[in-house]
A and B are shown apart, each in its own frame.
Chain A
Amino acid sequence: MALVELKGIRKSFILGEEEVEILHGVDLSVEKGEFVAMMGPSGSGKSTTMNILGCLDKPTKGTYLLNGDDVSDLDNDQLADIRNSMIGFVFQGFNLLQKTSALENVELPLLYAGVERKTRHSRAKESLIEMGLSDRIYHEPSQLSGGQQQRVAISRGIVNRAPILLADEPTGNLDSVTSDEIMSLFCKLNSEDGITIILVTHELNVAQYAKRILHFKDGIITDDKINNDRRGVV
């Protein structure tokens, strides 16, 4: 059974009076432990697909099976639960709470999972240490570099042991050296912890860290192949 399975996903938005279809039937199956990069020009539907995969949005038509369960028709609170337990997010703009310590930021998913305070602290700390931030635990985002902020965001993504990590242009705001560091971290999480990673990017050298590369164009997947020139594999 695939971890993620999209079948005939269509998504339309109402723009003014008109209904505009963005996704024209996306079929995708991702197994546990995969590392997938989604590429394509803007407006090709990759971000919309990402939002549906992340349970932030619902498809207009089609079925989304997550771990075998149909999640295409759940209500907002059920989706919130799934996001909390199954999916970690990493964004281009980091999306950390400002004026809030790295620790508290990482604790957030555990807070909404109802984890008790002490456990929350220790697990968040562990996660930050794993990301190499042992000396930045009580720093606020404004006191951290871009790479450090992104590592805090990754810690937050994995702290609740979600099996899937979704990354939307995670290196978009970073220089190339830091980008490589972050991408190596993703590779490590994928190979050592078995976390399934799905990544949106438009940079080929970033996509090249993935095991599988998808190309989107005009709301459908046009190309889907195994990446034979993988970077960063030790």
Chain B
Amino acid sequence: MISSIEIARTAVRALRRNKTRSMLTALGIIIGVAAVIAAFAVGAGANKSIDEQISSFGSNFIMVFPDRSAQQSGNTMRYLTYDDAKAIEDEVSGIEAVAPMINTSATIIYGNTNWSTSVTGSTEKFSQVQDWEIAQGRDINESDIRQGAKVAVVGKTIVDKMFFGESPLGQSIRVNKIPFNVIGVFVSKGQSQSGGDQDDFVLVPITSAQKRLVRWTTPGRIGNIYIKGVSMNALQYIQSETEVLLRERHRIKTGQADDFSVRNISQILEARRKTTTIMSMLLGSIAFISLVVGGIGIMNIMLVSVTERTREIGIRMAVGAKTMDIRAQFLIEAMILSMIGGTLGIILGIFTGYALASLTSAPPIFTVSSILLAFFFSGLVGVGFGYYPAWKASLLNPIDALKYE
């Protein structure tokens, strides 16, 4: 058998003779590899952004929220109430702070400016639980809560977008047409790890939110409860104690399901990670299928090529090509096609990854190993799907091949 460099040269020449067809054949692999690369990178990026969220929230953070699945199983839905939050704070130990929360969105108006933003109703504990600091003015306090005062502390983005550098303190903004007095501004936290603007919100006393913004009919109803534990070690205890307390308060009988859910932040994000992993596996398998389809495309074209070039094979055999020379030539042609496809696919995949990630706001992560894997795999596809046509070519009888029209 002659050297593989010579065979590779022959193969390249043969591919050049049919440039358009070679490129179209490689296209299948290009798309397949690009899809694999992009899917992995976006998946890895999403996972990393979840990791970063875990660390930015702080791990000693627990969230209580109403569980709608319990309602469906026949229980009457009990919402979480302001008193539930109070009870947790009073009766469960190991807690640093508890913040009852109402999250809603609203249009706020100042002068001629409209702005859609999220409005958080909570207590003076909110800043402590979520690590916010006051830059100007003051935070909401207990008496604001008691009175249901129409006061608001605004994020930096609100100041930038609505006050254009003017001091907002003492100004009146209308939240869903109800006037609130701005009493303070938070220190900017900037963008979150996942790219969202953390400063785009307004904090109002939870009592005002209940009465004037959400107007829920159940007295004392709140959205959910944030709990900050004194340490990581306390979380387990706080979680189970909170569950017992809330079951008692909500009069849930033994054997009945909870109508609420207590999760620490890593559990919540773990669930989200599961979702993204499933998503990226789904994407990845679709990508993988397209790579296989690309491989079948190569096999198809190589089979056509073997038939078309029967006479060429006959000539080569007549002048002394051995079985392995012919087999290697067609195999290497298939491999070169898929490697070219692989290389271009990697480039396209990187672009696609960034394009897709701009929709999800988590930057994609390209690892050398994933790129090498994709490249290696495209070579494998070439060998796998190129072997049959090459084998077929090598078994031709030179006399028949020479006579082939």
**Contact (A113, B320) CB under 8 Å given A57-B399, A97-B312, A99-B17:** yes
Q: Does A114 contact B (CB under 8 A)?
A: yes
Residue-wise interface mask of A (105-122) relative to B, using a CB-CB cutoff of 8 A (1 in contact, 0 not) = 000110111100100000
CA distance in complex: A54, B317 (Å): 12
Residue-wise interface mask of B (183-196) relative to A, using a CB-CB cutoff of 8 A (1 in contact, 0 not) = 00000000000000
Instruction: Report whether B320 and A56 are in contact in the complex, using a CB–CB cutoff of 8 Å.
Output: no
Instruction: Report whether B399 and A109 are in contact in the complex, using a CB–CB cutoff of 8 Å.
Output: no
Q: Does B103 contact A (CB under 8 A)?
A: no
Instruction: Report whether B2 and A112 are in contact in the complex, using a CB–CB cutoff of 8 Å.
Output: yes
In residues 76-129 of chain A, which contact B (Cβ within 8 Å)? 76-77, 80-81, 83-85, 89, 91, 95-100, 104, 108-109, 111-114, 117
Instruction: Report whether A112 and B325 are in contact in the complex, using a CB–CB cutoff of 8 Å.
Output: yes
Q: Does A151 contact B (CB under 8 A)?
A: no
Instruction: Report whether A77 and B399 are in contact in the complex, using a CB–CB cutoff of 8 Å.
Output: no
| A-B CB contacts (within 8 Å), total count | 62
**Contact (A85, B398) CB under 8 Å given A95-B311, A100-B13, A112-B2:** no
Which of B3, B311, B312, B319 sits near A109, CB closer than 8 Å? B319
Which of A51, A76, A84, A99 sits near B323, CB closer than 8 Å? A76
In residues 126-185 of chain A, which contact B (Cβ within 8 Å)? 156, 160
Instruction: Report whether A112 and B320 are in contact in the complex, using a CB–CB cutoff of 8 Å.
Output: yes
Instruction: Report whether A80 and B17 are in contact in the complex, using a CB–CB cutoff of 8 Å.
Output: no
**Contact (A112, B398) CB under 8 Å given A97-B312, A99-B17:** no
Chain A residue with the shortest CB-CB distance to B403 = A93
Instruction: Report whether A84 and B320 are in contact in the complex, using a CB–CB cutoff of 8 Å.
Output: yes
Q: Does B315 contact A (CB under 8 A)?
A: yes
Q: Does B250 contact A (CB under 8 A)?
A: no
How many residues from A make CB contacts under 8 Å with B? 29
Instruction: Report whether A95 and B315 are in contact in the complex, using a CB–CB cutoff of 8 Å.
Output: yes
**B325: which A residues are within 8 A, CB to CB?**
112
Instruction: Report whether B319 and A112 are in contact in the complex, using a CB–CB cutoff of 8 Å.
Output: yes
CA distance in complex: A206, B322 (Å): 34
Instruction: Report whether A114 and B315 are in contact in the complex, using a CB–CB cutoff of 8 Å.
Output: no
In residues 305-322 of chain B, which contact A (Cβ within 8 Å)? 311-312, 314-322
Chain B residues touching A, majority SS: helix
Chain B residue with the shortest CB-CB distance to A57 = B399
**B320: which A residues are within 8 A, CB to CB?**
80-81, 83-85, 109, 112-113, 160
Instruction: Report whether A80 and B2 are in contact in the complex, using a CB–CB cutoff of 8 Å.
Output: no
Instruction: Report whether B2 and A111 are in contact in the complex, using a CB–CB cutoff of 8 Å.
Output: yes
**B402: which A residues are within 8 A, CB to CB?**
56, 91, 95
CB distance from A112 to the nearest CB of B (A): 4
Residue-wise interface mask of B (92-113) relative to A, using a CB-CB cutoff of 8 A (1 in contact, 0 not) = 0000000000000000000000
Instruction: Report whether A89 and B319 are in contact in the complex, using a CB–CB cutoff of 8 Å.
Output: yes
**A96: which B residues are within 8 A, CB to CB?**
315
**A76: which B residues are within 8 A, CB to CB?**
322-323
CA distance in complex: A156, B324 (Å): 22
CA distance in complex: A143, B376 (Å): 41
Instruction: Report whether A80 and B321 are in contact in the complex, using a CB–CB cutoff of 8 Å.
Output: yes
**B17: which A residues are within 8 A, CB to CB?**
99-100
Instruction: Report whether B319 and A83 are in contact in the complex, using a CB–CB cutoff of 8 Å.
Output: yes
CB distance from B345 to the nearest CB of A (A): 28
Residue-wise interface mask of B (391-402) relative to A, using a CB-CB cutoff of 8 A (1 in contact, 0 not) = 000000011001
**B322: which A residues are within 8 A, CB to CB?**
76-77, 80-81, 112
Q: Does B10 contact A (CB under 8 A)?
A: yes
Instruction: Report whether B319 and A156 are in contact in the complex, using a CB–CB cutoff of 8 Å.
Output: yes
CB distance from B11 to the nearest CB of A (A): 13
Q: Does B6 contact A (CB under 8 A)?
A: yes
Chain B residue with the shortest CB-CB distance to A94 = B315
Interface residues of A (CB under 8 A from B): 51, 54, 56-57, 76-77, 80-81, 83-85, 89, 91, 95-100, 104, 108-109, 111-114, 117, 156, 160
Q: Beyond A56-B399, A95-B402, A100-B13: 16 further Cβ-contacts under 8 Å? A: A83-B318, A83-B319, A89-B318, A89-B319, A91-B402, A95-B315, A95-B318, A97-B315, A98-B312, A109-B319, A111-B6, A112-B2, A112-B316, A112-B325, A113-B320, A117-B6
Q: Can you offer 15 A-B residue contacts whose CB atoms are under 8 A?
A: A56-B398, A57-B399, A80-B320, A80-B323, A81-B322, A84-B319, A84-B320, A89-B318, A95-B318, A97-B312, A98-B312, A100-B17, A112-B320, A114-B3, A160-B320
